[in-house]
Amino acid sequence: MPVGVVPSRPLASRVLRQALRVADAVATPYGVDRYVELVRPSWSSTEVRAKVTAVARTTPRSVTLTLRPNGNWTGFCAGQHTQLSVEIDGVRHTRCYSMANCATAGDGLIELSVTAHPQGRVSQQLRRFAEKGQTVGLTSAQGTFTLPETEPGHLLLISGGSGITPVMSMLRTRCALGWENPLTFVHYALTHDDMLYRDELVELARTAPGVRLVRIFTDEPGRGDLDGFLSLQQLDRAAPQWAEAEAFVCGPAPLMDSARDLFARRGRSDHLHTESFTLIPFGAAGPGDGTVQFGVSEIGVASDGRPLLLQAEAAGLAPLSGCRMGICHTCTRQLCAGTVRDAVTGKLTTGPDANIRICVSVPVGDVEIDL
Amino acid sequence: MTTVAQAHGLTAEQLEALAHEFEDLRAEIAAQLGADDVAYIRRLIRIQRWAEVGGRASLFLGFLPPFWLAGAAALSLSKILDNMEIGHNVLHGQYDWTKDPGLSSTQFEWDSSCPAKGWQHYHNYLHHTFTNITEKDRDLGYGVIRISGESDWSPANLGNPLYALGLALIFDWGIMFHDVDLGHVRKGKKPWAEAKLSLKNGLRKSGKLAFRDYVMWPALTGPLFLSTLAADALANVVRNIWSFIIIFCGHFPNGALEFTEEECEGESKGHWYFRQILGSANISGNRLFHIMSGNLSYQIEHHLFPDIPARRYQKIAPQVREICERYGIPYNTGRLSRQFGSVIFKIFRFALPGRSSRATPSQREANQPSELVAA
C-alpha cells in the first residue's frame, strides 16, 4: 500500500467498533469478556482459547487432541507451536506444543499430540484426563521453525519421540501443497508401538510422490529400517544426499546435538533448522551461581545470591517495591526463565509464566525476569 | 518508655518463637491450597456477576416496586461481593499462585472508584506494613476523623460524627481520595506531581463507574431513567455504608492498640506479628456474615496472613487463638453491635478534647476489649 493512503473502514466494522465502545462503558471495569465467559467459556475478546473436539490415545504414552480455537486464532505456519494452558489442582500450567495438522487445511481445527513424560505434570494430566468438550488456553502460533516458502530441492525431516509433531505438520502441508521434490522423513522412537502417526506415515511413503520413510526403534533393534542412534554412517544410509538437503530436526537434546555436529563438520550448519522443548533442569545450582538476566532492560549480571530486588537495585534498576518482606506483593514480577527460591518459605518456583515477589526471591542458577 | 510488647511481658526470644509458630502455620495452609480454593472464588465471582446482570435486568421493570427493590438489592450484593470477598482478596495476591490472569493481583480491576494499583500501594504496602502505627498508618481515621487520643485535638475535630457520616455515605470515593492523600500534600510531605497522577487516575476510574451507573444504565432503561439512577445510587450507598462499618471495625474497636514509631523502629518479624494482632479486631458471626464482610471479620488472621485466601481464615482462627493464649496476647473479638458500638463511641468521644495517655500502655488497656481470651 503506498505510504500516506489511509484505507477507509467498512461501515459494518465502524458500527461494530461503536458497539464495542458502548459494551465497554457498560461492562466497565471488567470488560465484556468476563460476562460472556459466564455462558461461553471459550469466548474471549482477546485471549486465544480452544475447545477440545476429539481425544485419541493411539499409543500407550500419548494423547492426540483435536482443538477448535476461538476467533482470536489467526492460523499457523507448518512447524509452529502454541502455548497450551490447563488448570491442575487450581493452578494454571502452560506448555509448548507444536501443531501437527496440515497448516493449509482451512477447517479451523488444530491437532496437538502430547507425549506423557514420567515427571511431566501437564503431559500426564492430559494423557489421563483430557476429554472432549474441555476448554483450554492457547496463544497465537509462535516459532520460526517453519516449512520454507519455496520448495527446496530436498527436504530432510528428522525427529525423535514427541518431536514428530512439527515435522508431521510440515510433511502433511508439503503434500497438500502438491510439492514433489524428494523428502526423507527420519524418525526415532523407543518402540514400534510408541511411534505416533506410524500408519499414516507408511501410507504417505507408499503413495505420496518423493517421500521416503526411515524408522529407527532404539529399544527394538531389527524392527525398524535402521538401528542405533544418529551418526554419520546412519545418516548416509538414511538419506544419502543429506548434505544437499534443507534439514529440520526436532527431538531430545542428544539427537539435536548429534545433528548439529554432523552438519557443522560438513559446513552445512546454515541448512540445519532445529527446535526443542526440553525440560529445564531443576535447581541443581546453589545460590550465587549463575546469572540474572533483566530481560526488558537487557542487562545481565552475575548472581550474588541475594534476593532479586536487591540485585536489580544494585544493577541500577528501580523496580517497584513496598514492604520488602514478602507481604504486600507490590514487587511482583514475572519470572521468564529459571528457578528461584523463596527466602522465607524455601519454596522453589520455576518459570516461565510465574509471578514472583522479587524482594524474597533468590535466584538458583540462571534466571531471567521481566525487569 | 514502656513499649506495648514489654507491657505484655514479651521478650525478644518469645517474639522470635512467635514468628516461627506463625511461619509454620502459614506453610501448613499454603501447602493445602488447591482446586477447592479456586472453585470457591470462581463460584463467588459467578454469583457476583449474575447478581449484577440480574439487578440490571430487574430495573427494566423498575416501575414495579418489588423489581426496583430487587434490582437495588442485587446490585448492592454484587458491589459488596466484588469489593470485599473478591476484589480485596484478589488484589492482595491471595490467588496469584493459580497463575490465572483473571485472578492475578497485577491484572484485576475492581468495581470501586480507587484504581487497583493505587489502592494496592497504600493498602497492601503502607497499611499492612505500618498497621496502627500513629502518624504512619494513614488508615487511622482516614485522615478526616480523630479516632483515638493519640492524635492532637483541634476544633475541627468537633465535626467528627459528621465527617464519619459523610465518609460512610461516599466511602467508595473516600477510598479513592485517600490514595491521593491531599493531607500530606498540604503538609509538604508528598509531592503534588505524584498526588496529581493518583488524582487523575482516580477521577478517570470513578468517572467511568459514575457514567456507567448514573448515565449509561439509566439511559438504557429509557423512561425509567430516574428510577434506575436512584436504584444505582442506593446500591452504591449501601455498599459504602456496609464496607465503612466492616472496615472501621477492623482496627478501631476497644482493645485495638496503637503503636509509636519509635517502638517499631527496626522491628523484628515477631514484633510485626504481635503488632498485627494487637492492632486488629475480629467480628463474630455466621458464615454468610463472614463472606459478606470479605472475611475481614477475621481481621487478625488477615493481618497475620494477608496473602492467604481469606476463606481459610475461619479454619485457622482456633489455632491462631491458641497461639495468642499461650503467649498471653489478647485476641480481640466480639459481636458487630459491640465492636461497631465502641467505634461510634470513640468517634463522638474524640470529637472532644482529651486523650488517653500515649506514654503508658496500662492506660491504653483501660479500654477493655469486648471478649478477651484470658491471658
- The verdict on a CB contact (< 8 Å) between B100 and A29 is no
Is B34 close to A38, i.e. CB distance below 8 A?
A: no
Check residue A249 and give its pLDDT: 96
Distance from CA of A92 to the nearest CA of B (A): 5
At A3, the pLDDT band (50, 70, 90 cuts) reads very low
In a domain, B369, yes or no: yes
Q: Calculate how close chain B gets to A36, using CA atoms only, in Å.
A: 10
Q: Is A296 on the interface with B (CB under 8 A)?
A: no
What's residue A283's pLDDT?
42
Distance to chain B for A344, nearest Cα, Å: 8
Mutate to test the interface with B, among A22, A26, A28 (most CBs of B within 10 A): A28
Q: Into how many domains does chain B fold?
A: 1
Give the type of residue at A223.
R
Question: Given pLDDT bands bounded at 50, 70 and 90, which one contains residue A4?
Answer: very low
Highest mean pLDDT among A174-183, B113-122, B365-374 belongs to A174-183
Task: State pLDDT tens for residues B57-78.
Answer: 999 999 999 999 999 999 999 9
The confidence score (pLDDT) of residue B371 equals 45
**Distances, alpha carbon A322 to alpha carbons A182, B108, B201, in Å:** 62, 19, 20
Q: Which CATH code fits A155-275?
A: 3.40.50.80
**Residue contact B208–A28, C-beta within 8 A:** yes
| Continuous segment of H or E residues that includes residue A314 | helix A308-314
Report the residue of chain B nearest A328, measured CA to CA. Answer: B124
User: What type of residue is A91?
Assistant: V
**Total-model pTM:** 0.82
Listed in sequence order, the DSSP H helices in chain B are 4-7, 12-32, 35-58, 65-81, 89-91, 116-120, 128-129, 160-169, 171-180, 182-186, 192-211, 217-220, 225-251, 269-278, 287-292, 299-304, 313-327, 336-349, 361-364
Per the model's pLDDT, the better-predicted residue between B4 and B321 turns out to be B321
Q: Do A328 and B27 touch (CB under 8 A)?
A: no
Do the domain assignments include residue B187?
A: no
Q: Nearest C-alpha of chain A: how many angstroms from B61?
A: 19
Q: Could you report the per-residue pLDDT of A20-78, keeping only the tens digit for each?
A: 778 888 888 888 888 888 887 777 777 899 999 999 999 999 999 999 999 889 999 99
For residue B285, being part of any structural domain is answered with yes
**What residue of B is the nearest CA neighbor of A26?**
B212
Closest to B299 (Cα-Cα) out of B84, B90, B116:
B84
What is the assigned CATH class of domain A291-369? Answer: alpha beta
- Inter-chain contact B33–A90, Cβ cutoff 8 Å? yes
Interface predicted TM-score (ipTM) of this complex, two decimals:
0.76
What gap in Å lies between CA B305 and CA B32, rounded to an integer? 14
Please write the tens of the pLDDT for every residue from A272-312. 999 876 544 444 455 567 889 898 888 888 888 889 999 99
Q: Is A203 on the interface with B (CB under 8 A)?
A: no
pLDDT in tens, B174-185: 999 998 988 888
Residues above pLDDT 70, as percent of chain A:
94
Nearest beta carbon to residue A345 from set B27, B46, B306: B27
- Judge whether B350 lies within some domain: yes
Contact B208 A92 (CB under 8 A): no
CB within 8 Å: B205 and A26: no
- The three three-digit cell numbers of residue A27, written as one number: 461492562
Question: Exposed (0-12), middle (13-18) or buried (19+): which is B175, by Cβ within 10 Å?
Answer: buried
Whether residue B367 is predicted with pLDDT greater than 50 in this model: the reply is no
Chain A residues touching residue B60 (CB < 8 angstroms) = none
Residue ranges matching CATH 3.10.20.30 in chain A = 291-369
A213 vs A25, higher pLDDT: A213
- Give residue B88's domain range: 1-176+209-375
Is A90's CB within 8 Å of B211's CB?
no
The letter for the amino acid at A5 is V
What is the rounded CA–CA span in Å between residue A174 and residue A168? 10
Nearest CA in chain A to B114: A29
B317 within domain boundaries: yes
**C-alpha distances out from residue A244 to A109, A114, A234, A262, B142, Å:** 35, 32, 16, 13, 76
Instruction: Name residue, grid cell 429509557.
Output: B222
Query: What residues of A are in contact with residue B32 (Cβ under 8 Å)?
Result: none
User: What is the per-residue pLDDT for A277?
Assistant: 62
- Provide the CB-side half-sphere exposure for B78 (13 A, CA): 21
Distance from the Cα of B34 to chain A's closest Cα (Å) equals 5
Contacts of A38 in chain B (CB under 8 A): 46, 49-50, 53
Name chain B contacts of A329, Cβ cutoff 8 Å: 92-93, 96, 105, 120, 124, 307
Task: Compute the distance between CA of residue B257 and CA of residue B278 in angstroms, rounded to an integer.
Answer: 6
Query: In this predicted structure, what is the pLDDT of residue A240?
Result: 93
- Where in chain A do CATH 3.40.50.80 domains reside? 155-275
A322:B121 CB<8 A: yes
Among A29, A35, A330, the residue with its CB nearest the CB of B121 is A330
B111 to chain A: which residues are within 8 Å by CB? 29-30
Inter-chain contacts counted by CB atoms under 8 A, chains A and B: 102
Contact B39 A327 (CB under 8 A): no
From the list B38, B120, B126, the residue facing A90 with the nearest CB is: B38
Asked whether residue B113 is assigned to any structural domain, the reply reads yes
Average pLDDT of the residues of chain A = 88
Q: Which residues of B touch A90 (CB under 8 A)?
A: 33-39, 97-98
Residue of B nearest to A36 (CA): B49
For A91, the closest of B98, B125, B128 (CB atoms) is: B98
Interchain proximity A328–B129, CB inside 8 Å: yes
Task: Please list, residue by residue across A226-239, b when 16 or more beta carbons sit within 10 angstroms of its beta carbon and e when fewer do.
Answer: beeebeeebbeebb
The helix (H) or strand (E) run that includes residue A312 is helix A308-314
pLDDT at B373 over 80: no
Separation between Cα atoms, residue A237 and residue B249, nearest integer Å: 81
Q: pLDDT tens digit string along B30-47?
A: 999 999 999 999 999 999
pLDDT of residue B2: 67
Q: What percent of chain B has pLDDT over 90?
A: 76
Q: Is the CB of residue B4 less than 8 Å from the CB of residue B362? A: no
| Chain B residues within an 8 Å CB radius of A355 | 96, 99, 104, 106
> Does A324 have pLDDT greater than 90?
no
Q: Do B216 and A332 touch (CB under 8 A)?
A: no
The whole-angstrom distance between A294's CA and the closest CA on chain B is: 19
- CB atoms < 10 A from the CB of A12, how many? 8
Q: Given this model, what pLDDT does residue A251 score?
A: 92
Establish if B283 belongs to a structural domain. Answer: yes
Q: Measured between alpha carbons, how far is residue A148 from residues A248, A269, B110 in Å?
A: 10, 16, 47
Put simply, the answer to whether A29 touches B111 (Cβ < 8 Å) is yes
Question: Hey, is the C-beta of A92 within 8 angstroms of any chain B C-beta?
Answer: yes
Fold for the domain defined by A20-138? Elongation Factor Tu (Ef-tu); domain 3 (2.40.30)
How far is it, in rounded angstroms, from Cα B255 to Cα B342? 10
CA-nearest residue to B35 within chain A is A90
| List of chain A residues whose C-beta atoms are within 8 Å of the C-beta of residue B306 | 327-328
What pLDDT sits at residue A12? 72
Residue B72 falls inside a structural domain: yes
With 80 as the cut, is the pLDDT of residue A2 above it?
Answer: no
Q: What is the pLDDT of residue B1?
A: 55
State whether residue A259 is helix, strand or coil.
helix
- pLDDT tens digits, A69-87: 998 899 999 999 999 999 9
CA distance A367 to A349: 11
B324: Cα within 13 Å, side-chain hemisphere: 23
Q: State whether residue A322 sits within 8 Å of chain B by CB.
A: yes
C-alpha cell at B28: 501448613
B contact test, residue of A330, A349, A359, A371 with most B CBs within 10 A: A330
Contact of A129 with chain B, judged by CB distance below 8 Å, is answered with no
The tens digit of pLDDT for each residue in B124-171 reads 888 999 999 998 898 988 888 999 888 889 999 999 999 999 999 999
CA distance A153 to A150: 10
Of A29, A35, A330, the CB nearest to B120: A330
pLDDT in tens, B332-362: 999 999 999 999 999 999 999 987 644 333 3
